[in-house]
Amino acid sequence: EVQLLESGGGLVQPGGSLRLSCAASGFTFGSYAMTWVRQGPGKGLEWVSTIYDTTHKTAYADSVKGRFTISRDNSKNTLYLQMNSLRAEDTAVYYCVKGGWRYDNWGRGTLVTVSS
Amino acid sequence: DIVMTQTPLSLSVNPGQPASISCKSSESLLHSDGKTYLYWYLQKPGQPPQLLLYEVSSRFSGVPDRFSGSGSGTDFTLKISRVEAEDVGVYYCLQSLQFPRTFGPGTKVDIK
């Protein structure tokens, strides 16, 4: 069974940083692209970033480009999202998602709140 | 960026009745590989989204056959043949043809 467990969310002041992690199990992590999708309070889904499996090629939404960095450690079956220069509008539940175009499985998400 | 629109934005359905949601993209989602990169998700209350249909009309594992998808190019439709109580939630379409990936605004479905 595929499991994706996010961690690292919390309350942070504007301009601060957080690092999200996603521990994956139940599939061959290194063979899949992985994605972060976020959902602001009461809002719809927003794609944030994708990292490919072997090339580690990355893509970012314009809203986070230059501030967020996606990475992965295939030896630890773990996906990361380093978030810097956080803004109030980054407040959201962040979902770890298996896949680069077909999002088969989603974690339960971790809440990031950016507020002073 | 490809813009995704959905209609209606909300839908109230009697149990056992059919329901239909439209999704339109600002550009064709047909790739040169012959696949159309259009997906449907359902987010039930308090849960993460779950994949229903991929590449327009293929049902994901475990998805009941009352869910079906159709369309091509820029116009797509999700149909539920007989709505059940467990189908309530917000339905999203997604295009994965190009970056940035973009979701539709969502269609909230509830039971009358």
- Of the candidates B47, B50, B54, the beta carbon closest to that of A102 is on B54
A1 touches chain B (CB under 8 A): no
Kindly tell me if the per-residue pLDDT of B105 is higher than 90: yes
Residue A110 in contact with residue A8, Cβ under 8 Å?
A: yes
Confidence of residue A24 (pLDDT cuts 50, 70, 90): very high
Question: From the CA atom positions of chain B, what is the Rg in Å?
Answer: 13
Residue-wise pLDDT for B55-79, tens only, equals: 999 999 999 999 999 999 999 999 9
One-letter amino acid at B68 equals: S
**Is pLDDT of B86 > 90?**
yes
**∠ at Cα A115 (A109, A116), nearest 5°?**
150
CA atoms of B53 and B42, how far apart (whole Å): 10
Interface touch A106/B92, C-beta < 8 Å: no
| Nearest-angstrom CA–CA distance, B51 and B2 | 20
Output the pLDDT for position A53.
Answer: 85
CB neighbours (10 Å) of residue A56? 12
**Residues A47-68: tens digit of each pLDDT:** 999 999 888 899 999 999 999 9
B6-34: average pLDDT: 97
Instruction: Please state the rounded mean pLDDT for residues B89-97.
Output: 98
The amino acid occupying position B64 is: P
Question: Residues A60-89: what's their mean pLDDT?
Answer: 97
Residues 79-98 of A with CB under 8 A from B: 95
Q: What is the pLDDT of residue B72?
A: 97
Residue A89 has a pLDDT of 97
Taking residues A17-32, report their average pLDDT.
97
